[in-house]
Each structure stands twice: as structure tokens, then as C-alpha cells.
Structure 1
């Protein structure tokens, strides 16, 4: 029997995230100093919604911790496992670190979907962790009405050579390492069963090389582009850094078929919510609504958005001094 995994999920991939505005309101209540100071110095925490938590271990090592999981984004179990693992590892790369050990997080409707499919999901995650030279050592599973998979990941970086979303400076170019359109193509796949091998290849590609290149170039500011879309993650980066960002819409790379997917109405609810959230903070009057939706498209295992230039990544804009209360200006 053939199973279409995306039919068992209300959303798909990072498009099923809680909307960014709602999430910020919830985590705002968690800020504050602990009653007793734990061991290690917290270098990156909740304040700016960065990609992972970072704690200084000693002068040369910082521990990077993150977790990420989501509902099926494609129907193939093995590919879903690979995509989810690459996406979870990306948070460590987005901080300028390298993953060391990961744990599986699996929710499975065991009375609806065969456990053989779950094994394929786990095999996909294991293969991606192996390609990242990251140990995958156990994890946790629950019986759940909706399938979900991801990883909890721990890595290391140098405390003085991190990539952070609050380290942007006016005058720096903005580079994007993967094309946009993953959300709308995945939405089309879920609705029609049409396969997009190029999109799968983008999602399973690790951000390791881009992260290494950015750190080697002495860059200090980056984030990965996932569930909140390019506009949402760029808004958070610009806000945290106290600057504005100008995006050249014509320079942004898109996957083949992405514009057609928007035209035909295959836009995830998460992408529309992203645009609604960022619109008050952005100047979007120079681009059509379809382009704005793609710029806000909820990506799954997207690329790195880097303040600086690295080989092979197109420059899509620049950071500038604050302008008119807007964090993002699209031209």
C-alpha cells in the first residue's frame, strides 16, 4: 500500500510553525534572569530570537543547542527524514558552529501508519547526520495522531567567531545561499502529488559549507531562512541589529516553478501569515503581491542569509542605517 504522508498533516514542514507574532508574545514572558546562575555564560538566548542557544564553555569553545521538528513536507518517508534532519542541523550552522551529537524526536500515529515508514524516516535522518559527521544517538518517541519528526542538536563553535542575528552593520551586503519557493512548491506537492526533485535536493543540502565560508571570511551576522520566510527572518535580523535592510527583489533567486505555484494559488497559510506580520515593518509598494508572498514564503530547510559576501551566494541587498521606522525595504 502506498501512503501519502502529507495527507496526514494539517500543515507541511516549517509552514506549520506558530505564527511569528503569536510566538514572540509567548516567549516575551520567559525573559528574565534565573534565580540562581547556572554554569557557563549564556551568549545567545531568547532576547533576539536567534537560531540557537549558545553557552560559553571556556575561552575557545561555545556550546550550541537547538531543536527543530515538523509535520511531513513531502510524501516520501526517507526524504522527509533527510529534510527534517538537514533543517535541524541548519540552526547550528546558522550560528557559525558544527554539530556534534543529535537526538531523534519522533511522533507517530502507530495505529494508522506502519512502523516501517517510521523506520524510513529515521533512516533518512541518520544518513544526513552521517554526512554531517554528527553522531545520532537515540532520542524520544510518542504515539501521536499526527506524524512529526526532527532532531535535538548540540554543537560547538568559537565564542568569538559566532554568527548572530544582532551583529549586522549598515553598509554590509546581504547574501542568500539557497533559492526561495520551497513553501509554495511543497504546498503544490501536498495538494496534487506532483514531485519537485530540485526542491528536495535544495532542502536536503546542508548549510555547512556556507557557514564555514562565512566564519572563515570573518563575518559575524547571519540567520537561516526557514518558517518565517526571507522577509520575516530579515526583519528579525535588522531589528536586532538596529538597522534597516534593502532587498533587490530582482536579485533574489527562486526555484523553477515557484512563481507558477503562487499564480495557481498554492500558497501555504504560514506564508500569508508571515506577510501579514512583516507588512507593518516593511515597504513593499514597489513589488506585486505575488512577489511579496514569495519573499515571505515559509521555507523548509532554506539557506543562510548572511551579512557579507561568500563565494557562490548571490547578493540580494544590503543593510543600511534605519529608515522611516521600516526594517525592510523591497525595491
Structure 2
């Protein structure tokens, strides 16, 4: 089992295997209009993290699914990362997970049963940490290993946090550092250190449980999680949903130290380039910004942090909530501005 490298089966691992934003938009544009009942509080209109369906005045269901190909070689770690990433979408909407269903696709002729079992064990361990059961799922025989979850949660309809509620003057806060995609690229190239791998696991297996508590704060206006489209892509979605622009100070971004070293040496994912091709025209960089900075802004984050837009007076409370719930330091990175939905990086 130790000789099998899961990433050898992946053409793009983790959230780096997501369909590029521009391609996805074109595909969704051809979908016929579906039913839009009044109870569907959040659907596909704003490219949000999960669907939200109102059951009554006090309860709404949060539903999402997320799965991908291996981002690491260790099967147990792969399961943990995939499960953490899937549950993040529930937390990002302000919800509390209640149970999950497993999504399993495995090349049965290439992977022994004990490897597949370890992947499932890793996912189950994260669900236990979140306090929920894996209550079922579906499995198929495929060419590349795929694992993830359908995540179900509950939220008070009045406390739903979408990516479309930001207000002019809101402060932007990021709860995890950037660079996971670069670390994954370094792993595949054999240039990631043991310390870098440990740092990668630390962030990708940290549940974004602060999202459920942040939902109780009325001064928190919008939340999304930063995943496959990178910080720039997901912030642009918040801009478009909210009808505002945004400004980010690059020097204030939390960055994984080894990821900075690797990207300055030319290590990056192919998804980073695809992301920039999809939405780069909506991003304004300073004229002399080096290419490595652009790659960090577009780096696909697997199980990335929450991006929070809140009133200035709520900044300390948000940072304290993240510290208490997750044991890490969130960082102020910018603000929301009046104007066209564009991102300016200074």
C-alpha cells in the first residue's frame, strides 16, 4: 500500500481539478430555466457555496456536494482533506452540518481494497470531528480515484450568509493563508519538504466551523470560502453578487511561507493559469506586480479559508471568533468599494 502514489492517477488534484470559471459559466448558461420556488433561498444565481431551502420560519436546509481527485498520496490524508473541503460549504453559508453522504469513485483494478478503505476512514474521521454521521452514499468504478461528500446542514433562514450581501465599506477578512495549490504542485514535483507537507495538512484538514458562529453576527454581511477559483475568483463572485468592487492589499495577505518560496521558483498549478484566463480582465494589478503574486491570487485552494465581509466595527469580533473556534489568526486583507464589480490589488 505504501508504494502506491494516489496523485499518479490525478490529472489535476484537489480543487485544482475544478472546471475553469469561464468554461463553467458557458456550460451553465445553456441550462434550461428550472423551478424557482419561494422556499429556495439560495440557488445558482450568484455562484454561491451551497443551496439553501427554507422549511419553516426557523429552519432551512443547507445542501452541497464536493468531490475531487487526490491532492496527496496518503489515502487517509486524502479522505480527510476531501471531507473537510466538502463540509466547508455548509459552514460558509452559516450552517451547522447534520449528516453527510459519501461520493466514491475508485479504479478497482488499480487500487487495493485496503487503500480505498483508508480513504473512507479519513473522511469518516473528519465527520466524527464535525459531530455528524456519514449516513450513506454512492460508489462507482472509474478511471481516476474520486472522493468527497454530499453535505447537509441546517441554518436559521434569517441567519443565512451568502456571497451577495457585502456592503460598501465592509472590511474583508481571510481566515486561512493562501498557497495550498502551490504546495500540491510542489508535492507532485518532489520539491515539497516534510514541514511544507505538514503545513498543507494543517490547513486543509481544519474545519471552517467558525462560519456557523459568524452567522449569528448581524455585522457580518457576506461569507464565502476560497477554493478552486482562488482568492481573486471567489472575491470577484462576491463583488458581482453584491454589485460592488473590492480592493486587496497584497502585503496583508496571509501566505504559506513554503508556497511563496516554491512559486518564486516557478512552481504553480495549471489551474492557476486557467483561472487567470477566465477572470483576469476583472483584476487590476499594479503595473510592476511580479508574476508570482498573480499566481498566488489565482492559486486554487483546496479546503481554503472563509472570506468574510463585515462592518468595520465587527472586525475584532470576527477575528476573535475564528481564533476561538479554529485556533488560528484571521487577517484583514482589504475592503469593499462602490463601483463596478472589479478587484483592485495594491
Same fold at TM > 0.5: yes
Bigger drift between 108-117 and 281-290 goes to 281-290
2:342 is aligned with 1:327: yes
Match of 1:314 among 331, 335, 341: 331
2:213 is aligned with 1:203: no
Match of 1:190 among 168, 188, 191: 188
Structure 1 residue 215: Cα displacement? 1.6
Q: What TM-score does the superposition give when structure 2 sets the normalisation length?
A: 0.91
Structure 1 residue 80: Cα displacement? 0.5
Give the alignment of 1:1-331 within 5 angstroms: 1=1, 2-30=3-31, 32-34=33-35, 41-192=39-190, 194=192, 195=194, 196-209=197-210, 211-218=211-218, 219-286=220-287, 287-308=289-310, 309=315, 310-311=318-319, 312-322=329-339, 325=340, 327-331=342-346
**SS state at 1:220 partner:** strand
Aligned length: 325
User: Which structure is higher in helix share?
Assistant: 2
Contact 1:81 1:120 in 2 (8 A): yes
**SS state at 1:292 partner:** helix
Structure 1 runs (4+) deviating above 4 angstroms are none
Contact 1:283 1:326 in 2 (8 A): no
Contact 1:99 1:134 in 2 (8 A): yes
**Shift in CA distance, 178/279, structure 1 to aligned 2, threshold 3 Å:** same
**Shift in CA distance, 208/31, structure 1 to aligned 2, threshold 3 Å:** farther
Contact 1:162 1:220 in 2 (8 A): no
Structure 1 residue 33: Cα displacement? 4.3
User: Unpaired runs of 5+ in structure 1?
Assistant: none
**Shift in CA distance, 289/27, structure 1 to aligned 2, threshold 3 Å:** same
The residue number in structure 1 matching 2:323 is none
Distance 2:144 2:332 in 1: 39
Deviation digits for residues 74-111 of structure 1 (CA, Å, limit 9, x no counterpart): 11100000000000000000100011110111111111
User: Unpaired runs of 5+ in structure 2?
Assistant: 320-328
Q: What TM-score does the superposition give when structure 1 sets the normalisation length?
A: 0.95
Deviation digits for residues 284-308 of structure 1 (CA, Å, limit 9, x no counterpart): 1353221111011000000000002
Contact 2:54 2:61 in 1 (8 A): yes
Structure 1 residue 330: Cα displacement? 0.2
Contact 1:27 1:46 in 2 (8 A): no
Contact 1:284 1:329 in 2 (8 A): yes
